[in-house]
Structures are given as C-alpha cells and as structure tokens.
Structure 1
Amino acid sequence: MKPHLGIRSRVEQGKNVFNQNQKIIHLGKQGNVEEAKRVFSNILHKNHATYNSMITVFAKNGRVSDAQQLFDKMSHRNIISWNTMIAGYLHNNMVEQANKLFDVMPERDSFSWALMITCYTRKGELEKARELLELVPDKMDTACWNAMIAGYAKKGRFNDAEKVFEEMPVKDLVSYNSLLAGYTQNGKMGLAMQFFERMDERNGVSWNLMVAGFVNSCDLSSAWQFFEKIPDPNAVSWVTMLCGFARHGRIVEARKLFDRMPCKNVVSWNAMIAAYVQDLQIDEAVKLFKEMPYKDCVSWTTIINGYVRVGKLDEARGVYNQMPYKDVAAKTALMSGLIQNGRVDEASQVFSQLGKRDAICWNSMIAGYCQSGRMGEAFNLFRQMPIKNAVSWNTMISGYAQVGQMDRAAEIFESMGERNIVSWNSLITGFLQNSLYLDALKSFVLMGQEGKKPDQSTFACSLCACANLAASQVGKQLHEFILKSGYINDLFVRNALIAMYAKCGRVKSAEQVFKDIDCVDLISWNSLISGYALNGYASEAFWAFEQMLSERMVPDEFTFIGMLSACSHAGLANQGLDLFKCMIEDFAIEPLAEHYSCLVDLLGRVGRLEEAFDIVRGMKVKANAGLWGSLLAACRVHKNTELGEIAAVRLLELEPHNASNYITLSNMHAEAGRWEEVERLRVLMRERRAGKLPGCSWIEVQNQIQNFVSDDPGKLRTENIKIMLNTLSAHMRVKCNISDMKSVFDIL
C-alpha cells in the first residue's frame, strides 16, 4: 500500500522545517543574525526547535533582549525552551536573570539544575552553587555533580573538587575527566599524572587533556610521549600536538605531524596554516591554503592576518576581496593591518562597510585614531559605541595621554563605571609620559585606597616617578611594598628599582638590586651604567661595560648613551670619542641625536667648542633641543658668545617657551655687558611665556614631596627665608670673612 498523502506531506514538511532550523543555527554561528531572523520569519510551521534555534542565535550574538522577547511570545514552551533561555543568560553572564527564570520554571530536568550550578561557578559564586547541588532531587544524576567538580577545579579549589568527587554516589567518565581537566588546565601536571594513573577507564578526552596540559606547561617531550601512547588518536589529539609544536616554533615537527595525519579536517589545516603565519613563512601558508579542499572563515582570516603581519597589505586586501563571505573577523584583520601601517582613512572605510560590529572592531578603529593623534574622531566613535568595555575606556585614556591632554584623560578615567588595573596603569603611565610625576604618585595612592592591587607595570611606573622626583624615601617605601607584594622577582620591577636608586644618588642600593638579579638582561646593565654615569662614577661605568661584554651581552644605543654620558661627566674626551667610533664601527649602531648631544657636552666641558660645533654641522640626524642646549651651556662656561648666539637661536626655534634657554642666553649677554640684549630677551621671554604653565620644582622633605610653582603667593614663607638666609650668612662669614649682613635682612 502507498503511504497516505497527508503523512508524506507532514514528513516532507518536517524535513523542511528541520533544514530551516539548521540554516538558522548556521547563520547564527557566522554572526549573520538578521538573515537568520529573516529565515525564521519565513517558516510557516514553526515548532519548538525553530523557536529554540532562534533564541540561541540571539543569545550567542549578545542580543539577549531579543531572545527574551521571542521566548515570551511562545504560546507553549517545552523544558528545552526554558533551558535554552537560561543557557542564553549564562552565555552573557547574566546570573540574576537566569536565576529568576530558573525559579519560575514549571518543571526542571537534570540539565536545568546543571545549568544553574554552572552559572554560579562561572560567576565565582561557588558556595551558592554548592547549596544548589544539595537541593538537586535526583542524587544519582551525575550531570550536576560533574558541573560542581568542574567549577571547583577551574578555580583551583582542588580539595573541594576532590571532596565532591568522593561524595558522588555514582561516578562516570565525565566525572573523572572534569577533575582531570581542573589539574591540567591549572598546570598541576604532577597531580594530573597521579590521577590519570588511578583512572579505571580513559577515553580520548582523558588522553587529550594530558597532552594539552603538557603543551600548556611547555613540556613538549612529555606531551609527545603521551601523544604516542594514545590508543586511537582523534582529530583533537592531532591538532593539540600540532598546535603545541607550532606555538613553540617547531614548524618542521608540526609539518611532519600534519603530513602523517590519517584524516585532515578544516581545523587541522587551519592550525598548520596558522603555524606558518606565526613563523612569518607566509609563502608556505599561502601554498597550503590553496591546497585546502574546503576553506572556512578562519582559513581566509588567517591568511589575511599573515599578509598583514609581513606588511603585504595589497595582497591582504586581494584575499579579502576573494572571500565568499566576509565575516567580522576578516574585516577587522584587514582594518587592523591598515591601521598598523598608518592607513587610517582606508581602515575607516572598511569600518564603515561593516554591518555588524563587535567590540574588537570598534576598539581597533578607536585605537587607530588614537595612535594617529586624531582624538576628535576617536572620541566621536567612542561616543557612538553601543556597549563600551574596559578596553574602549582604557584606549581613550592612553590616547589623550599620548597627545598630552591629561585633563581629558583624567575626565575619561573619572567617567568609567568600573576601573581595572589597566585603567589605573594607563592613567599613571600618562602622567609619567607628560612629566606629571606627582600626579602619577598620587594616582598610585588613590589606587590603593580603591582596593586595587598594583602589578609590575604599576610599580615600575611609580618607581620611575620617584626617580624623576629624586624622592628616595618614597622610592624606598615602594621597594618595601614590592617585597611584600611578591613582585620583587619581576625583572621589569627590578630594573626600575636600579634606575630609581641611581637617579636618587643611592648608587650602592642600585648595585645591590643589580647583584640580587639571577638573570640580568640588557636593560639591567643599561640602568646600572646610566646610574654610574649620572653620579660621576666613570671608572665603575667602564667596569660594568667591560663585564657586560665579557658575558656576551651585546650593547645597544642606550648602552652607549650611558657610556658617553659617563665620559662627559668625568671629562674623558678622548675615551668618549673612541667609544663613539667603537659604537659605529664595531657594533654597527647608527648614532642618534642623543649620542651627538653627549659628544657635544663632552667636548664642550673641556673647551673644544669648535670641534663640537663641527660635529653638529656634520651629523646626519636632525639636532634636538638637548644637543643645542649642551652647546649653549658650554659656550656660556667658556664665554664663546658667537657660537652661543648660534646655539641659542636654534634652541629657541625648538623650545620657544622654555624660560631656561632665555635665562642662559641673557646671562651670557649680561656677563659680556650687553644690557640692551638682556632687556630684549626678558621682554621676549615674558611674551613667549604668556598663557603657558608656570615653572614648577619640588623637593622631598620628611617623606613628603613639596612642590613649588612660580608666582604662587601661597608658597611665600618670609620667616623661613630669613632663617635660611641667616644660616647661609653664617657660612659665608666663615668662608668669605664677611662681617655683617644685617642690611640684607632689613630689606625683607
């Protein structure tokens, strides 16, 4: 008998709905929500699965309100619908909403309970999760127990995880793997090994967890030993080992493994291509890409990223144009490449063509404008951004700091809802970059008051502020704080300590910090050498330089700036010239303006002004203010007004608002009796300084940093000045046989 026409029709209809549901899910995975929504709207006979598929698409693409509206519209909901909506909340870390929905569920299954337990564990609310576990009606169901074990294990609470594991009335393989995953994902490979050996049963997941754990712990030999013992390695096994080799730069082993794979899926092809891209072997990556039987969005995006990394933007754009479907990741990759190469306007065009924009895309474009100093456009984009994350706010803070607008950076910082450690570091670094050292230290204090713990970057920046303020007592307190915080072994922090102590004149303390470093790097040596130079310890600087070379450490341009500075402070002109020649000929380092500045200062100190001026005229790089300042200072000392005038004119072009330049030139004219020139410079200085920030200086007194601003009546202390003058006059009477200075004090 032929089947009834109605039954056949319903079967065909069911197949059609199933296919449409699969299409909705597929579009959702690609981020094409609007197209998925259109397909959903066109389905005439929607079933529970149709609604659940669309709810999942909305939730996984961050459109939770749309998912909730669709859920509310459902006339009849099955338990899968309820679980799908809770899972959507879980995906978007909306624990309270998930909890409310869970409370009003007409019925719950083991998956509902496991979802809520997972919801709490991901939020870090482990005690609430444990309380929920106690309320689960079916104690024999392993799903909830496994969720609790995974929650404890992921947070590193292994004792609690093991306790739950032992309490389980029935254990399955997932239970064992949940605890094993906790060990491997937290790098506890010793415990993982012991537990793995105790497991009565193992599957591919168990073996893969061990391989991945060793890979993440940088123990490739153990990972390889485990991989070779896997009874039947699956695609995940091969890809995990392949990525391990690739991540550590062992491309040859990765390729051998790839060629041995019995069945290559798209993930394995992508992993091998990504390995070549990471190793900058873009031609090999492209060759493999062309051989791929099937390419997904990751394949195309990886190649675009590869071309971007080697600076081949036209090729990157060519691949982008060939993509059958251009997803957000590919567009963002191309946009980032254009930004990195200064082609911000082209990047902006790509950004404007994006239908859907994720946070990475918005932040990349904002960062592009910030890096180019186009803060107006960055701020406009920042304002338009629908949901700003911490990266967005921090990018704006750093952007304003980069262009010297610290008032705007501080405003953005104050407007943030929740600040993380990067926010504080961005603000402190900004103050540091703009020579606002006191503000940097104040921010460090405020950060502690807000309950945020500093990291190595915070400590290094704060130490740098102390160094520039010569605030040794504050720096010493910071050192003690670092010892308690556990960051003392961080090389970045130790190098900052060396620089801080050196700039504060405490060379012995700087030496001690250097000696305590187990494995010094080039920055450590440079900090020590610069410290010796700054404090006039030329012989010690030369010893450090020789020691550094004997340890096969190759000096860089900063090493030679320190060494030339040491020669300058000690008046070692010939040694300095030899070092300069050695830098160019032996180490192939192109001189910077800073090297020439040291050389000019060195020759100027010993009166070889004409030779210094010849170096300035013959150098290949553009002279900076430091260089002309060194020549001007030397001209004043040696009373060479002619060269001094030339240096001063160039210096005033570079720093028209720097009062010290006018004062130096004015003093030169005064010493030569040119009073008309003195008056002219004073008038010019007042005009140029109009509307500019007043001069500021500071001093550390009794562990407090006191700052003094010119023309600040609040800082005038007549009585203190009199006391100081009395003390000075006493010294002068002894040294210079001056009998009476009462007339001086009568003036005050």
Structure 2
Amino acid sequence: MAFLLLPLQPHTIKVALARFSTSAQVPKSISSNGLSLSLIGMSKAGSVKEWNVMIKGYVSKGMFNEVLALFKEMLKAGLRADSFTLPCALKACAALSHLQHGKSIHSYLVRSKTVDSCVFVGCALVDMYAKCGKIEDARQVFDKMSERDVISWNALIVGYAQNGRCDMTCKSFCEMQSQGVKPDFVSTASVLKASAHLESLNLGRQVHGFLVTSGYEKDAFMGSALTHMYSKCGRLVEARLAFDQMSHRNRDVVSWNAMIVGYAQNKHHDHVLELFQEMQLAGLKANLVTIASVLRACAHFSALQQGKEIHGFVIRNEFEADHFVGSTLIDMYSKCYCISDACQVFDRMPERDVVSWSAMIAGYSQNGNCLDALYLFKDMNIRGMEPDSVTIACVLPACARIASLQHGKEIHGYMIKNRFASDVLVWNALMDMYAKCGSIQDAKQVFDGLYHRDSVSWSTIIGGYAQNTHYDHALKLFAEMQLSGVKNDYATIASVLPACANALALRHGKEIHNYIIRFGLESDVFVVSALVDMYSKCGKIEFARQIFEKMYDRNVVSWNAMVAGYTQNGNYSEAFQIFRQLQHTEVKLDPITIVSILPACARLGTLQQGKEIHNYALRRGFDSSVSVANSLIDMYGKCGSIDVAHKVFEKIQNKDLVSWNSLIAGYGMHGHGEEALRFFRLMQQTGIKPDHITFVAILSACNHAGVVDKGRYYFDCMSQDYSITPRVEHYACMVDLLGRAGCLDEAYIFIKNMPLEATADVWGALLGACRTYGNIKLGEKVADFLFKLKPEDTGYYVLLSNIYAAAGRWNDVAKVRTLIKDRGLKKSPGCSWIEVRNKVHEFFVGDKSHPQSEEIFTFLKSLDRQMKDIGFRPDTTFVLHDVEEEEKEQILCVHSEKLAIAFGLLNTSPNRPIRITKNLRVCGDCHTAAKFISKIAKREIIVRDMIRFHHFNDGLCSCGDYW
C-alpha cells in the first residue's frame, strides 16, 4: 500500500459532515453513519481540505463507491485534487476493481503532471493497476516514476505477488537491493511467499539471512513465513528450526499452522498429530486451517478415535457450518471406512458447496458404494449444483469399480458438453475409467487426444494396458514415454512394474530396478513396494524379501505386497508370519491387507484364523468394502462354510461381478450345482453381465453336479448369447465334465476339434477320467501328449502309474517309476492338514513324526475294527504297490487324510465338525472310510481335496460318490 489511512470514528464523521454543510449543500439523504449518500444538488464547494476530510472518513469505513462519487463531485465543483485526494480515489478503484475509473484518474494525472512528481500518487497508481490485474501497466508506471523509495518497490513487489508472478516478485526484490533500497517487512514477507511458491531455496535462504541481520527472525509473522518457505521447499528440519527459534510468547495460531501444514504437505502425518497436541498444551485454540490439516492426518492413519475427538471440537466451536471443515470431516470418515458417519456429516451440513458434494461422492467410491456415488452425482445435477473437475474425477472411479461402461460414457458426454477440455486431471480419470472397464482402446483414444500429457497421463495409460493384460503394450509405452521427454516419476515406475510382474518379464523388471537405483527413486515406499510385488510374481520371493528387509520406512502398502507375495507363491505359513509381524507394528492394516491374507486362509483351510480376520475387519469397519467381502466369501467357501459365505454375500449392499462369481464358484465347489445355477440366474436379473470367470464357475458347478447336458448348454450360450470367446480353461472344464461322466471318446474328439492348442490342464483332465474308468489305451495316448507338454510334472506320471496299477500291470508301473527316477523327478507326497486351536497340523502317509502319532495309530486301529463290524471293506485297488492284500490294507489305513481325521476326533469337542484339507484328490478307499467314520463318530467330516469339497455326514457324502 502506498500510504496508511487512519480510520475515523462515527462521531468524527458527524463533525466532518456538520463542518462540510457550511460550505456545501448537503442533501437530506446523507447519514452520519455513511450508509447512504446522495450528492445530487451540491452547488457550493468547500475547500479541498474539507472534501479530503469527508473522503478520508469514507475510506476508513471502506465505503469506496461513496469515495468515487465524492471525488467526481469535487472535480465537478472545479476543485483540484491533491496528493491526498488522488491516492484515496485510486485506492477506491483498486478495492472495487474499477479499472476504467482508474484509467480516467491516470489520464487526469498525466495531464496535471502529478504522477511523476509525487511518490504517493505513483505508488497508488501502481497498486491500482496491480489489483485490477494489469501488472504490466503497473510496471510501466513504476518505471516512469522519478523517485522510488521502499514503498514504491513494495507496491510493485506485492503487485507481482498478487498476480501470481512469483518469478518477477523475486526478480524485483533483487533489483531493489541492487539499487541500494533496503527491503522492509512488507517486501521481505512477499518475497518469502514467492520463494515458497517457486520452491526457490537459495533465495529463501538469502532472505532468511537478511531477517537475521535485521532482527526480524524471531517475529511471529516472519517466523511463520520462514517456516512456510522451508516446508514448501521440502526442508522440514530447517522449517522446524525456524519455528523453534520463535519465542513461545510470539507464536500465534498462524505460526503453529505454518509448521503443521508444512508437515501435512510433506506427508509427515505423525508429526502433524504430535504438533497438534503440543499446540493444545501451549493453550492455543485451533482454527479451521489447523483442523483441516489434523483431520487429513487422522484420515491417513485411519485414526478414527482421534478424528472423532476433533469432530467433537468442531461441534463445540461451531465450525460445522464451514464448508471446508465439513468436507474434510467427510474425507476423514470415508478414509477410516466409516461411510455412515461421513453421510451424517454431509446430511447435517446447512449448505453444501461443490467440494462437499465431491468429498461425499469420493467417499462412496472409496468404500465400494459405487451406485450410491453415481446416484449422488445425479442428485447433485438435479439440485442445480454444477460439478467441477474434482467432482468428475471422483465419480469416474465409481464407474470403474463396478465396470459400468455405460455410466462412464454418459459422464464422458457430459464432459464434452460442458467443455472440460483443458483439465488434464479429469481426462486422466476418464482414461483410467475406460481402462478399468476393459475398454482399453477408448482409453487410448482419450490419451491420443490429449493436447498436454503429464506424467500421470502416461502412468495411467501404461497402467491401463497392464491391467488389461496387454503387458507388451505397457512396456512399449514406457519406452515411448522416455523418448517423449516427460520425466518418469514414482507413479510411472509403480505403473510399469506390474506389467513386468504379470508378464513375468523379470529381465525388464531388473532393468527398471537399475533405473530406480540410478535415479534415486528407491526412497519412495510405493516404488519399492511395486518392486517387492514384481519379484514376488516373477517367483523370486527371496529377492522380494531382501528388498523388503532393507526398506527404512515401511507403510501398509509394502507390508501388503510382502503378504500377497508369499500367498501368491504358495508360502502360506510365511504369509501368516509376515501378517503377525505387521500386527505388532504401528502400521494400521487396511482392506488390502485383509484381501491379501484371506487367500492364505482359504488355501490352507484355516477357518478359525479366517474368522479372526473377519472379526478384525468387522471391528475396523472393513466389511463395508466390497473387495473385503468378496475375499471373505471366497475364504468361507474354500474353508467349507458355504452357508457363512452366503450370509456375507447377502450383506453386501452393492454386489459386483466378483461377489457373484465367488458365491457361484463356492456352491459349485461344494457340489451344489443347482444353487450355483440359481444364483447365476439371479445375477442376470440384476443386470450384471457374466464374464469368462463366471462361466468357469458355472461349468465347474455342472461338472461337480454331473449335469452334462446343462454344461453343454452353458458352454454354447457363452459365445452365442454373451459374445465371450471360450478360453482354454473353459475347454478344460468341458473335458473334465465329459470325462467324469464317462464320455471319454467324446472328450477326446472335443479336444481334437478345439480352435486353441490344448494345454496340459486340458489333457490332464482327460487322463484323470481315464484313471477313473480304467481306459488304458486312451490313457497311454493322452499321457504321451502330457509327457511332451510338461515333462517335469510328476503328477501325470503318477496318474498313468495308477491306471496300470488298477489293472494289475505291475511291470508297466515299474517302467513309469523308472522313468520318473531317470528324469530326476520327485513325486509330491500326499499331505493333509487340519487346524486345531489356531495351529495347523500336517500329516503325510504313514507319518509318525507328530507328537500324538502313537495315540493316533492306536485310535485308527480301533476305528478300523468298528468300521469292519458294520460292513466296511478296504478297497485295495488304490494301493499302487505289488504287495500282499494284508500289507495293502495296512498302507491304506495310514493315508494322510485318515491320520488327520483321527487327530481331529481326538482333539476337538464332539459337537464340532472336522475340517480337513488335502493337496491331492482323495482316494476311493479314504472316501468310503470317511463315510463310515462319520456314522460311527456321529460327526460331520468336511474334506477339501484338490478337486472339490466332500461333506461326510451319517454315512453319506454330499458328492453322491460322484467326483
């Protein structure tokens, strides 16, 4: 500002009006409080000094329209404005952004040659042009000024800052010093702010040095500005030093906020919460800025309890009406997975701005309530609230999550209609939506149409191709990005590494790893987590663990990557070990953690541990996440509790395709084919279209239920009605379905007519059927294909050996065993395991290593006698050794599943079911024995083998002896 005007009190204005009326006709409409003024009828003029008193009064009250009206009448009265009147008039023009009036006064100044002679007028003119957005005009006026003091320079420096010209703010500051003008408080504060914006650490440090020599360093305002500058430059240690050097008495809420916001912007959310506590202990009351930063920290850590305490503070201090605080509360509750609390905050807001609507839409989307997000977006439009770019970027992920391409296209049309063309943020979100809806070509069209592509654009399209299994395209685009000149950042690396992971492109992954080291990107936890994931998926779990162990700072993403890595590599015990370690850290588990560990429970059949994780998810509110609920359905289904899986399914408000697929697959695995088909029909009625995974589940259900005709029907309608091209896994299901039903020749012809090359899984299904039906000739032919396709897989050699053994062709059995030995292969031993009191117990055939083995073997002999008493006869055809019948019976008696069942009966309460998991297919003798044991022990025995579930109860099996 060019000069200071002291405010006049109301009684001063009354006196001025009284004096003014003696020399000028004052209209009746003028009032002592200055709320209205009519100058119509003024005929006589007082002195310039008296007019200036009146102008000064109105300036002090901020009544700038009256100032301009009075100035105009003054000129009409023939009076010449002086060096006091003119700055006042220009100040009014600046405050009202009346550029035209300001230019008229400038013309008057030029004519009267006042601008060159009076520094105050020149400063006011610079200030007026700057505040009216004409900074270049302001500079021209400044350059023509004959005299420039610190106030003149301040007017220019502040003007540049107000117009967002931080570069010129800094340049003018340096120029002022070079001309020998010493900066003051105003110029220093402006250039510190500009340095922060430009992240110009060197200039900021120079200004800091000036403040130290000038004695301003410990001033609260300057200390806050220094703290803000260092924080924006990412120098938090120096920011904290500047904050700590301020006197405790001088620290006001602005000072504390500068440090708190600095920590928040640099994602040091733990320090935000610590400093907030210190601020409270210092007796300072938080304001809206403080609250917003602390709530974001609570959101980051899912610190729900602390977030609720701050919400209480907000209510007590009546901050709820503030749009910004309300939106931040919605965001906090949403990220703490308390979407119902977020809704309550949203519903209680007296007024909602576009930020509030966007926060609520984002909250619904983040918590899997995608339909609610879309309904709210529609409601927002109906109510006349116009969405902005952030709103669009919030609602598009909801379309992506439920693969609603139609909704996404409608929003795309809205974007085109409302000209969102210049906002790259929104087009990146659109690209991501198309990619996640499987329409990668549409995503590419959006990408190709972008005038400006930032690193997010490249990361999104690279990630999109990776998500749609076009891994080669993703890697090719990554190479193009490097040639384009756009710098790779953390997000790009985190997008391309999954392409390497899923393509098993270990060589490319290692090259990117070298790039990460070379450019110092290994400090980013998300990049390192993506590396852990890449090495895990490429089967190099030991490399992944080494990288994980070297991480200085591990967040939940890195822990999740390690848990998922062990699970994906079949190291389920190690997955649980990492999971338990995570629980003992300060890192808060998130829904992804639950989704990563539940498959380990599912694979091991550890229902009790799965239930504990479910309870944890309930306590944290994670059960509202659709992905968590889907994983729970899968876990319960694979752990033998299909009824509980169904209950979880029913509680999901917004069921997606994965929800339906998980339940259908679960029913199919349990042999409930009709239930699986019923839910398939219900899914169709809801409007959700099946995908290739749905049909794998349906065909498997038909397979386990033995409904061949329905299997043929659904295989045909997959391509005819849904335009889904059958994949190799669908052909494998059909071969298994036909083979299991005894249609071996039809299955063989089916394979020969496949448009795809038959894989080992397809031929393996037929070989298994040959074993069941004792078809040696076809079995030998199929085995020949398999030995060429997968010569290292011992399972196929064992199947052929079983076919020979069942026919008593022991010489051929010996030949197969010799072949296995000559090729250096090892047969995977049959293994069964059972979970008792949260501990998994493993058993192998004839295993005597268990501490209770003596008791188990004794108990099995007793059971064997009881079974024989009621009609059980061992089926020695399942013994693959040429030994005497008695020895065959002894071998059968100690199969791994029988040992596990015996252990379960000895160590669990009589009313609880026995749950066994087996790594191979259950043999016919053990299947029959389990039926007899269930009747004798009056216990339900649930066995999950590599094919399906068997529920044994009262002498019967749920499979109806069809497996």
Assess same fold via TM > 0.5: yes
More moved, 7-16 vs 516-525: 7-16
User: Do residues 631 (structure 1) and 766 (structure 2) align?
Assistant: yes
Q: Separation in 1 of the partners of 2:798 and 2:423?
A: 68
Change beyond 3 A, Cα 1:640–1:180: closer
The equivalences for 1:442-591 within 5 A come to 442-517=577-652, 520-549=655-684, 554-591=689-726
Amino acid at match of 2:785: R
Amino acid at match of 1:124: L
2:730 match: secondary structure: helix
**Preserved CA contact (<8 Å) 2:430 2:443:** no
Amino acid at match of 1:127: Q
Q: How much has 1:732 moved relative to structure 2? A: 7.5
More moved, 365-374 vs 589-598: 365-374
1:124 match: secondary structure: helix
User: Do residues 592 (structure 1) and 707 (structure 2) align?
Assistant: no
Q: Separation in 2 of the partners of 1:192 and 1:132?
A: 32
Change beyond 3 A, Cα 1:711–1:353: farther
1:418 match: secondary structure: coil
Q: Separation in 1 of the partners of 2:699 and 2:598?
A: 25
Q: Separation in 1 of the partners of 2:702 and 2:708?
A: 7
Change beyond 3 A, Cα 1:285–1:598: same
Alpha-carbon deviations, 1:680-725, whole Å to 9, x = none?
43344245456x8976845014232134689999779985785477
Which residue of 1 is the match for residue 258 of structure 2? 115
Change beyond 3 A, Cα 1:445–1:661: same
Alpha-carbon deviations, 1:454-493, whole Å to 9, x = none?
3333333433222222223333343444444433444433
User: Do residues 651 (structure 1) and 804 (structure 2) align?
Assistant: no
Amino acid at match of 2:820: M
Q: How much has 1:161 moved relative to structure 2? A: 3.1
Q: Separation in 2 of the partners of 1:676 and 1:654?
A: 25
More moved, 636-645 vs 624-633: 636-645
Q: Separation in 2 of the partners of 1:283 and 1:118?
A: 33
The equivalences for 1:206-605 within 5 A come to 219=376, 240=388, 244=391, 248=395, 279-280=411-412, 284=416, 310=441, 342-345=473-476, 347-348=478-479, 350-351=481-482, 354=485, 358-364=489-495, 366=497, 369-370=500-501, 372=503, 373=505, 374-386=508-520, 388-517=523-652, 520-549=655-684, 554-605=689-740
Q: Separation in 2 of the partners of 1:545 and 1:394?
A: 37
The equivalences for 1:117-156 within 5 A come to 118=261, 123-125=272-274, 126-134=276-284, 145-148=287-290, 150=292, 155=307
Q: Separation in 2 of the partners of 1:28 and 1:676?
A: 89
Change beyond 3 A, Cα 1:434–1:627: same
**Preserved CA contact (<8 Å) 2:703 2:733:** yes
Q: How much has 1:280 moved relative to structure 2? A: 4.7
**Preserved CA contact (<8 Å) 1:625 1:655:** yes
Q: 1:159 aligns with which of 304, 312, 327?
A: 312
Change beyond 3 A, Cα 1:84–1:10: same
User: Do residues 699 (structure 1) and 833 (structure 2) align?
Assistant: yes
Alpha-carbon deviations, 1:188-221, whole Å to 9, x = none?
6876787758xxxxxxxx9666676777686457
**Preserved CA contact (<8 Å) 1:432 1:440:** yes
More moved, 574-583 vs 332-341: 332-341
Which residue of 1 is the match for residue 110 of structure 2? none
User: Do residues 661 (structure 1) and 796 (structure 2) align?
Assistant: yes
Amino acid at match of 2:313: D
Which ranges in structure 1 are unaligned for 5 or more consecutive residues? 30-35, 137-143, 167-173, 198-205, 229-237, 250-274, 290-294
Q: Separation in 1 of the partners of 2:498 and 2:886?
A: 66
Q: 1:104 aligns with which of 241, 245, 248?
A: 245
Q: Separation in 1 of the partners of 2:810 and 2:238?
A: 80
Which residue of 2 is the match for residue 642 of structure 1? 777
Change beyond 3 A, Cα 1:383–1:226: same
Q: Separation in 1 of the partners of 2:681 and 2:291?
A: 57
More moved, 580-589 vs 93-102: 93-102
Change beyond 3 A, Cα 1:215–1:284: closer
Alpha-carbon deviations, 1:44-86, whole Å to 9, x = none?
5697599878866775677869955874587746567643330
Amino acid at match of 2:734: L
Structure number, greater radius of gyration = 2
**Preserved CA contact (<8 Å) 2:295 2:328:** yes
1:657 match: secondary structure: coil
Taking only aligned residues, the RMSD between alpha carbons, in angstroms, comes to 5.4
Q: Separation in 2 of the partners of 1:196 and 1:357?
A: 44
Which residue of 1 is the match for residue 146 of structure 2? 8
More moved, 7-16 vs 374-383: 7-16
Q: Separation in 2 of the partners of 1:556 and 1:303?
A: 23
Q: Separation in 1 of the partners of 2:431 and 2:666?
A: 46
Q: Separation in 2 of the partners of 1:725 and 1:307?
A: 59
Amino acid at match of 1:665: L
Q: How much has 1:728 moved relative to structure 2? A: 6.7
Which residue of 2 is the match for residue 265 of structure 1? none
**Preserved CA contact (<8 Å) 1:153 1:161:** no
Q: Separation in 2 of the partners of 1:571 and 1:743?
A: 31
2:840 match: secondary structure: strand
Change beyond 3 A, Cα 1:337–1:179: closer
Which ranges in structure 2 are unaligned for 5 or more consecutive residues? 1-112, 119-142, 297-306, 333-340, 364-372, 397-406, 875-883, 895-963
Alpha-carbon deviations, 1:362-403, whole Å to 9, x = none?
544555554552221122123234352221121111111221
Q: How much has 1:640 moved relative to structure 2? A: 2.4
Which residue of 2 is the match for residue 607 of structure 1? 742
1:699 match: secondary structure: strand
Alpha-carbon deviations, 1:340-373, whole Å to 9, x = none?
8625255235337758664334544555554552
2:622 match: secondary structure: coil
Q: Separation in 1 of the partners of 2:888 and 2:488?
A: 77
Alpha-carbon deviations, 1:530-565, whole Å to 9, x = none?
233222233443444455555565444333333332
**Preserved CA contact (<8 Å) 2:390 2:426:** no
1:586 match: secondary structure: helix
Change beyond 3 A, Cα 1:75–1:464: closer
Q: Separation in 2 of the partners of 1:194 and 1:743?
A: 74
Change beyond 3 A, Cα 1:63–1:719: farther
Amino acid at match of 1:412: I
Alpha-carbon deviations, 1:654-696, whole Å to 9, x = none?
4332221111122334455666654443344245456x89768
Alpha-carbon deviations, 1:141-179, whole Å to 9, x = none?
xxx75545555776552332344569xxxxxxx996766
Change beyond 3 A, Cα 1:640–1:511: same
1:706 match: secondary structure: strand
Change beyond 3 A, Cα 1:709–1:686: farther
**Preserved CA contact (<8 Å) 1:460 1:492:** yes
Q: Separation in 1 of the partners of 2:571 and 2:294?
A: 45
Query: How many corresponding residue pairs?
Result: 672
Change beyond 3 A, Cα 1:276–1:669: closer
1:130 match: secondary structure: helix
Alpha-carbon deviations, 1:206-250, whole Å to 9, x = none?
96666767776864577568768xxxxxxxxx664x76478658x
The percentage of aligned residue pairs carrying the same residue is: 25
Whichever structure has more helix as a proportion of its residues is 1
